[in-house]
Amino acid sequence: MESFDSLVSYAWFILGGAAATLELTVLSCTLGLIVSLIAGLSLLSKKLLVRWAARTYIELFRGTSLFVQLFAAYFVLPLAGIPLSPIQAGVLAIGLNGGAYGAEVVRAAIQAVGNDQREATIALNLTRWQAMRWIIFPQAVPLMLPTFGNLAIETMKATAIASLISVSELTFQAQMVRTQTGGTALPFITILITYLAIASMMMALVRWLERRLSRGLVSVRT
């Protein structure tokens, strides 16, 4: 049995991975969000080519595993002259993967805003862009938020896969401790609690956003 002191220091070592997990999560979610919006709006474009491009991206990323995408980003892109750091490759793969799912959420939420709202914008002579920017999109956001919250947590959990390309995030650190000490309980209980803590923080943030962004819509819902 190891001393309490060394247990604590191993735990700290693992927690050191939380920084990389958070970095991967924040960057992947940001990339995923931007890509979701672009691809989601593209799915609703009037131009066939734009819709087709978005559809291809989505099917490509949903139809292959994140594992394959990560390895492609880390090992194949350098062959094409685009060398990426492990973090960059992780963010690219995880972000684009999340974006493919997010795009459908954006599309569905925008379509869920009633046609009567669209007709009112036409009667008020707004351009298509103004209608989207000021009327349709703001009403779609509260509809997207719950699903986006779930996607963000999925993204956070998916960052563990970056341990495979040696990003020293939580899972990677836990594996290190496990191979060094042979102990399994400590490393896995530590990361379990840490992932859970990050997830609850994210959930709280999403709920706060939901309250903020559904002004005027809340009294209808309750």
Rank residues 189 and 218 by Cβ distance to other proteins and give the closer one: 218
CB of residue 134 to other proteins, shortest distance in Å: 7
- DSSP for 69-101? HHHIIIIIGGGGT----HHHHHHHHHHHHHHHH
Residues 6+ apart with CB under 8 A from 84: 73, 74, 77, 78, 92
Which residues bind to other proteins, rule: CB under 8 A? 116-117, 119-120, 122-128, 130, 134-135, 138-139, 215-217, 219-220
CB of residue 43 to other proteins, shortest distance in Å: 20
CB of residue 97 to other proteins, shortest distance in Å: 31
CB of residue 210 to other proteins, shortest distance in Å: 13
Rank residues 120 and 201 by Cβ distance to other proteins and give the closer one: 120
Helix (H, G, I), strand (E, B) or coil at 170: helix
| CB neighbourhood size of 70 (10 A) | 22
Rank residues 84 and 126 by Cβ distance to other proteins and give the closer one: 126
Rank residues 138 and 183 by Cβ distance to other proteins and give the closer one: 138
CA separation, residue 127 to residues 33, 92, 195 (Å) = 25, 34, 45
Rank residues 44 and 176 by Cβ distance to other proteins and give the closer one: 44
87/91 Cα distance (integer angstroms): 6
Report yes or no: 44 and 29 within 8 Å, Cβ to Cβ. no
Tokens 């684009």 belong to 96
Tell which residue, 7, 14, 26, has the closest CA to residue 173: 14
Report yes or no: 168 and 20 within 8 Å, Cβ to Cβ. yes
CB of residue 207 to other proteins, shortest distance in Å: 19
Report yes or no: 24 and 87 within 8 Å, Cβ to Cβ. yes
Rank residues 5 and 116 by Cβ distance to other proteins and give the closer one: 116
CB of residue 48 to other proteins, shortest distance in Å: 17
